[in-house]
Chains A and B, each alone.
Chain A
Amino acid sequence: MRSARSIAICTTLALFCVGADASRAAEALVTNQPADSLSVVDLATMKEVARIAIGGKPAGIALSPDKSRAYVTAPDGRELIEVDAGKREVLRRLKLGGGPLGIAAHPSKPEVYVADWYQHKIVVVDAAAMTAVGEIAVGQSPSGLAVTPDGALLLSADRDSNQVSFIDLATRKVVATVPTGARPFGITIDEAGKRAYTANVASDDITVIDIAQRSPLPGSVKVGRRPYALALTAGKAFVTDQYSGTVTVFDTATLAALKSIDACDHPEGIEETASGDVMVACWGDDVLLRIDGTSFKVTARAKVGSGPRAFGRFLR
């Protein structure tokens, strides 16, 4: 029903639909790691509408520029898996070896970057051919990855080197390393491409990096215990604190804490929606949580598979 209506709207507004996935609704694609699956959650109804078998203990996720494809890392299977999000099916699998975990997609071309957390490198994958086309050595146990909105730089949170590597994507060379707090895991770049934020699991804080200056802002933002990842919306940052079970909110202009929201057991992947909510994967409770970005209230919960992580960009 929904997809039929989307197609009708697309026909009327054909101009806006070029290159878009006609079956697209606002959805979350949630990797359920122990359950070996990907849950598709309709964000309008907050109901799981499909569950796709993935295998290999899926954890990381990134979406193609048109959001029609999901790229999922499976650290146990040591694979990258391509999923057709609209058709709810696995298309291709690429054996990478090592420990593929963090992943990011280029904003405009078919290229994805996979962090190998055991072999301390990033693998460049041509997503059209689904083949590895390059490798970039970085610090120890690279985890979260993010690409600047202009597609020029890839940032890697090198967890066990307490740094972020800046990679020039034209030359695929590390052009700078920036120190962070202890064990940076998730990394998020703002819409303007000016700042990057790392969630430092061992120092329970956030490092804010000025991307142009290639340096951290002085100090750090204290959050809850064992922060995992971070989402940005309307001048606020939302941080999942795995051990505290909270989402810490702070103002990105003043870096002052605004709220610690009681969320769930082991909140992990987090991303903002177009309408100003944030979605949180709750690993311990097997739910996807919706938090209102203004009132900071939990407004809905969708049941998903066991052990949701959604480490990366997972909303389309």
Chain B
Amino acid sequence: MLQRLAIVVALFAFASAPAAAHGPSRQKVTETIEINAPVDKVWAVIGNFHDMSWHPAIAKTEGTGGNEPNAKRKLTLGSGGTMDEQLLKYNAENHSYSYEITEVDVKTLPVNNYSSTLSVSGEGDKSTVEWRGAFYRGYVNNDPPPELNDEAAVNAVTGVYKGGLEALKKKIEGGG
């Protein structure tokens, strides 16, 4: 009986491993883009948590919970990997939402404990979209391999943000 309990405890510890320790310092990425369109028009494209079709790397968005906190979505990348994400805050008035990644393979995106805010602000026919990320590198201990270090994490997230924002600008300014 005791032995069985010990096994259950060991399994539980293993199952909860992904939430364990992370890299020594949290990384920060902020990317912005100017778009020649009113805020409302831009928000109409990016403001639905369950539609990431504006991002060229995302092949499919599935989820539940609408635009309410704790809503969940699964993003499937064109390259095949997936990311499970959860909505933290949604503010239609300020044209902003925040979310976290609850599950991702470091081979898909080399990060841990990732949270992010996507927002749009502006005046008249000009808007600025800002995408902010906070995350730790893919490797949770000291001395990471190069593909899982701080630089790799920052580069990967920067690439996702830039690729998305440039495509968004093109889509909206191109009349799409």
Contacts and interface: CB of A to CB of B under 8 A. Distances in A.
Question: A and B: partners?
Answer: yes
Interface of A: 33-34, 57, 59, 75-76, 78, 98-99, 101, 117-118, 140-141, 159-160, 182-183, 202, 225-226, 242-245, 265-266, 283-284, 306-307
Shortest 7 CB-CB contacts between residues of A and residues of B: A75-B24, A57-B25, A141-B21, A160-B20, A76-B24, A243-B88, A33-B25
Chief secondary structure at chain B's binding surface: strand
21 contacts: A34-B25, A57-B24, A98-B142, A99-B24, A99-B142, A117-B21, A140-B21, A141-B21, A160-B20, A182-B19, A202-B19, A242-B115, A243-B100, A243-B115, A244-B88, A244-B89, A245-B89, A283-B26, A284-B132, A307-B26, A307-B28
Interface of B: 19-21, 24-28, 88-89, 98, 100, 115, 117, 132, 134, 141-142
Interface-centre pick from A159, A202, A243 (highest chain B CB count, 10 A): A243
B28 A118 contact: no
B20 A140 contact: yes
Contacts of A75: 24-25
Contact of B28 (A76, A202, A243, A306): A306
Contact of A118 (B98, B134, B141): B141
Given A244-B89, A245-B98, A307-B26, A284 B134 contact: yes
Nearest to B133: A284
A137 B26 CA distance: 26
Contacts of B89: 244-245
Nearest to B27: A34
Contacts of B98: 243, 245
Contacts of A183: 19
Given A117-B21, A160-B20, 16 more contacts: A33-B26, A57-B25, A59-B25, A75-B25, A98-B142, A118-B21, A118-B141, A159-B21, A242-B115, A243-B98, A243-B100, A244-B88, A266-B134, A283-B134, A284-B28, A284-B117
